[in-house]
Amino acid sequence: MSNIEDLIDKLAQDTTTVKPAPHPFALSAKWMLTAAVYLAVSLMISGPRFDIETKLHDFWFVAEMAALLGIFFATSLSAALLSFPDMHQKRRAVLAPAVAFVVFIGVMFLSWQADSPPAPLPRHSFECSMMISMLSLLPAVWTFFQMRKFASTHSLWAGSIAMLFAFSIGAIWLRLDEINDSIIHVIEWHYLPMIAAGLIGMWLGKRFLKW
Amino acid sequence: MTDTTDKFAVLMRQSLDGDKRAYAELLQETSRFLRPFLAKRLSFTNEVDDLLQEILLSIHKARHTYDGNRAYKPWVYAIAQFRLSDYLRSHYSDQLRLALEISEVENNLPENVTETTLSYESISGEIQKLPQKQAMILQLMHQEGYTAKEVAEKMGMNESAVKVAAHRAYKVLREKLEHS
C-alpha cells in the first residue's frame, strides 16, 4: 500500500499544467483538412483526368466518389475517436466506417449492374494498387504519428482505421486522375487492396500505437 | 452525459491546471475504487498492487486525453481494462511457456506421480507441514478424490504443473517418512 502512496506523491509532485487534447471532432476536421490539401496538391502535380467535367455528370461516378468521401470522413472520425482511451465515450460514432463501407459496397454493386455493356478493361492491373499505396504512404505515416500523441486502448482497430483513412485518400486521388471506367478493374485493383491495407493496419497498430 | 459537477472531473480539471494537491487526491480516490475492481479479477494482493501502480502511471501518461468535460470513471476504467488485459495476456503466455517446460520434465518422470501407496490420513500431519499449494493438491487428490485435471481446473493451474507439484510433495514426504 505504501508503494502506491509513494507513487501517488511522486506523480503529484511531477505534475504541471497540461493542455488537454483537442476534441476528436476538431482532430478529425484537422486531419481531413490536411488530407484534402495533400490530395489537392497531388492532383495539381499529376493533373486530373481530362474527362473530369463529363464524369462529374455521370451519376454512378458521382455516387462512387460520394461513397468514397463517406469512407474518408467516417475513417477520419473513427480514427480520432479511437485515439482516446475511452473513445471519448462515443462508441457508436466509432462504428461509422462500417456504415460507410456498407453504403460503398452497395454503390459499387449498383454501378457494376449499371455498367452495361461493360467498359473495356485497361491493360494495366496491379499498377493501380501500387500507385494508391505509394500515394497513401505519407498520409499513413502522418496519421500514425498523430495518433501516437494520444492513448489508444484499441491499437489494432485504431491502426486498421488509420490505414483505411490513408488509403481512401489514395483511392480518391487515383479515381480523379486515371482515365478508366471499368468497374471490375476499379473494384479489383483499387478497392479490394484496401482490405489488405486494413489488415496490415492492425499489425501496424499493434506495433506502433501501443503505449 | 457531461457532468461538470462530477467530483472526479472537477479534480481532474484542477489537476490539468497544475494543482498538485487535487491531483494527489484524484489518484488516491482512483486507486480506492480501482483496487476492488482488480482484486475481483486477480488472485494475489501483490499482483493487484503491481497492476494498480502500472494503471496509475498510465493515467498520468494519458491525462491529456481527458478534458474534464465528460464522465471520469469510464475513462479510467478503459485504461484499467486495457492494462489488465495486457497483464493477463503476458501472465498466461508465461504460464504456457512454463507448462511447456514442465511437460518436458514430466516425460522423463520414472513413475506415475499421481498414484501413491501412502494413505492420506496416515500422513496428514506431515502433509500439513508442506508448502500450502502442495498440501492443497494432495488434500484434493487423496482426501477428496479429485483427479489431477480437476485439481488443475480448481486451482487455476496446468495439469502438468499439478502432477509435478504432487511428485515433489511425494518426494519430500517419502524422505521425511524414511527418516522418521
Task: Tell me the pLDDT tens digit for each residue of A50-76.
Answer: 999 999 999 999 999 999 999 999 999
Question: Most B CBs within 10 Å: which of A11, A27, A155, as the mutation test of the B interface?
Answer: A11
Nearest chain A residue to B64, by CA: A20
B117 touches A: beta carbon within 8 Å: no
Domain boundaries in chain B? 4-98, 121-178
Quick check: is A47 in a domain? yes
Quick check: is A8 in a domain? no
ipTM of model: 0.87
Q: Which of B24, B173, B112, B126 is nearest to A9 (CA)?
A: B24
Q: What spatial distance separates the first Cα and last Cα of chain A, rounded to whole Å? A: 25
Q: What one-character DSSP code corresponds to residue A88?
A: G
Q: Which of A34, A11, A39 is nearest to A145 (CA)?
A: A34
Tell me how crowded residue B30 is: count the other CB atoms within 10 A of its CB. Answer: 23
Q: Tell me which CATH code domain B4-98 carries.
A: 1.10.1740.10
pLDDT at B123: 76
Asked whether the whole model's pTM tops 0.80, one would answer: no
CB contact under 8 Å between A17 and B17, yes or no, is yes
Residue by residue, pLDDT tens for chain B (180 residues) are 445 468 999 999 999 999 999 999 999 999 999 999 999 988 777 889 999 999 999 999 999 999 988 999 999 999 999 999 998 888 777 666 666 666 666 666 555 555 555 566 677 788 888 888 888 888 888 777 888 888 888 888 887 778 878 878 887 887 777 766
Determine the structural domain holding residue A111 and report its residue range: 22-208
What is the total count of domains within chain A? Answer: 1
CATH topology of domain B121-178: Arc Repressor Mutant, subunit A (1.10.10)
